[in-house]
Amino acid sequence: MAGGQERVLRRRIKSVQSTRKITKAMELIAAAQIPRSLARILANRPYRLGMQRIVLEAALGDPAGAKKLLAMPEKVDVAIVLVITGDRGLSGAYNNATLRAGERLVVKLQNEGTEVRLFCVGKKAAAYFRFRGLAVQESFVGFVDRPTFADVQLVARHLSALYVDGEAQQILMVSMRYLSAGTQAVEVQQLLPLVMPELPADDQPAALKGYTEFEPEVEKLLFFLAPRALESEIFSALLEAAASFHTSQQRAMAAATENADELGQTLTRVMNRARQDSITTEIMEIVGGAEALRSRK
């Protein structure tokens, strides 16, 4: 009996150790991805800021025309919600936090009488919302770990087409923003109508006085600019989401590795005790047997 218990423990230790190997490998891979995804956020920053500056300038150049693209409509009948999660799990609270925030937003909008069209990026989002009984209009998968601008253009084309046709009056995005290595937070961002971008104070160009020239005229420019601004915002959100995912996964896998270490240690101790017990019992049996033989003589 005691020998059997020992075998079971040995098997469990082996399984914990091989799990540890996997989580350790995943931790290292995620850790290697972090600097790469951070570098991409940095590389994207000039474009994003430049785009925000242009939108701002164009909006200031033609307040009347900009109203259409910048002001909130009186009543939103149909809103598009874009939820960005990962394709893979094993990343701590990353997917769940985003999904919960997304679902809250959808329910809130529905309670206000707004029809919601749900768009998902990442396998986890589509699966979750289908399970919760919310219709997903379109789901984009396969690129969230390393998004390229072409992927984003595809997503943005779907969204802006609906907006331009007047089928939807508002586009909202739920995603994980990368604030720092220690903090990532879910954010709901309105993509269209465009929100007046807030520029850091020191970056405020002196040209923002409304005497800028436009080519072509500003109304036309804004019309074509809006989808580009949408792309730019989605792209930067995706880059930050990827960085958040890797950070979160690295943290989760580090914790899992630590747990496996601890569990392995505990199990080894239990196993050693079991082995010692069985040896002691065996010796007791031998001694007992020898005693019995001797006393018979």
Can you give the binding site for another protein, defined by CB under 8 A? 40, 43-44, 46-48, 50-51, 53-54, 57-58, 61, 148-149, 152-153, 157, 205-207, 211-216, 218, 221, 224-225, 228, 231-232, 235
Cα gap 93→176, rounded to integer Å = 11
Neighbours of 77 (CB within 10 A): 13
CB of 220 to another protein, least distance (A): 8
Q: Which of 95, 85, 91, 84 is nearest to 30 (CA)?
A: 91
**Judged by CB, which is closer to another protein: 100, or 158?**
158
Provide φ and ψ at 142, rounded to 5°.
Answer: 100, -5
Tokens of 157: 């084309």
Q: Which of 95, 138, 100, 101 is nearest to 117 (CA)?
A: 138
CB of 238 to another protein, least distance (A): 10
Neighbours of 206 (CB within 10 A): 5
**Judged by CB, which is closer to another protein: 170, or 232?**
232
**Judged by CB, which is closer to another protein: 182, or 216?**
216
The partner residues of 175 in beta bridges, in order of sequence, read 187
Cis? peptide before 73, omega within 30° of 0: no
Q: In which residue are the tokens 């290697």 written?
A: 32
Asked whether 147 and 235 are in contact (CB, 8 A), the reply is yes
Cα gap 148→14, rounded to integer Å = 41
Q: In which residue are the tokens 């923003």 written?
A: 177
CB of 214 to another protein, least distance (A): 6
CB of 37 to another protein, least distance (A): 13
Q: At what angle do helices 218-296 and 63-70 cross, to 10 degrees?
A: 30
**Judged by CB, which is closer to another protein: 57, or 240?**
57
Asked whether 160 and 192 are in contact (CB, 8 A), the reply is yes
Q: Listing from the earlier edge strand, what are the strands of the sheet with 170-178?
A: 136-140, 115-121, 78-84, 170-178, 184-192
CB of 99 to another protein, least distance (A): 27
CB of 170 to another protein, least distance (A): 24
**Judged by CB, which is closer to another protein: 6, or 233?**
233
Tokens of 51: 């785009």
**Judged by CB, which is closer to another protein: 84, or 105?**
84
CB of 250 to another protein, least distance (A): 24
**Judged by CB, which is closer to another protein: 177, or 228?**
228
**Judged by CB, which is closer to another protein: 1, or 201?**
201
